[in-house]
A = this chain, B = another copy of it.
Amino acid sequence: MEVIKKQTGAAFKLKKGQKLKVIDPQGEQVSDMVLFNAEDTREKISSGKTLDFEESILITKGNFLWSNRSHKMMEILEDTNGRNDFLLAPCSPETFQIMYNNPDYHPSCFENLYTNLEKFDIQPDDVPTAFNIFMNVQFAPDGKLSVDPPLSKAGDYVLFQAQMDLIVALTACSAEDSNNGSFKPIHYAIID
């Protein structure tokens, strides 16, 4: 079991067929995930393609995560919480400046994604809209969005299986609104 400490991230390779278990060890925490084809990192996870092919804003057990080239990247085998989406971008320095009116430095998922992805020659501009695991974004019939505390309880997890060789980046979210103001770790395990 690997530990992503609060307000940090990790990036690693996952082989086709391997499983990735992403765990919320304490509950009410969010993990942003992005995926790249390990053989050609210009192929990456796509919000639009996933919503298109899965015909749903909420993505859970039985759904696939799709790439910008219309290929399956991961299947979701299990999901004990059931609330994940692509709606909002990873929190970034500008999120805290614009949304939280905080001009000072603040850790962010965006920074934690691109700094961990540097070793794979992936640049900040290459980071796509992320898959927000455990995130509880509520949408009203008129489309208005609100970020509520995650519904995840301690030990909730999502189990993914890679459909191609992947580079995966994960965070333990740094944004107050996403995790009810209490920054917590995320755990993950790679299962052969």
Contact = CB atoms under 8 A, between A and B. Distances in A.
A53 interface: yes
A58 interface: yes
A158 to B, nearest CB: 16
Given A42-B125, A139-B139, A89 B48 contact: yes
A143 B57 contact: yes
A18 interface: no
A54 to B, nearest CB: 9
A99 B53 CA distance: 7
Contact of A87 (B48, B127, B146): B48
| Interface size band for A | 35 or more
A188 B140 CA distance: 32
Nearest to A137: B51
B129 A48 contact: yes
23 contacts: A46-B129, A47-B129, A48-B87, A49-B89, A51-B88, A51-B89, A51-B145, A52-B95, A53-B99, A55-B145, A56-B142, A56-B144, A56-B145, A57-B139, A57-B145, A58-B142, A58-B143, A68-B125, A70-B94, A70-B95, A70-B98, A129-B129, A141-B141
Closest 4 CB pairs of A and B: A48-B89, A48-B129, A70-B94, A58-B143
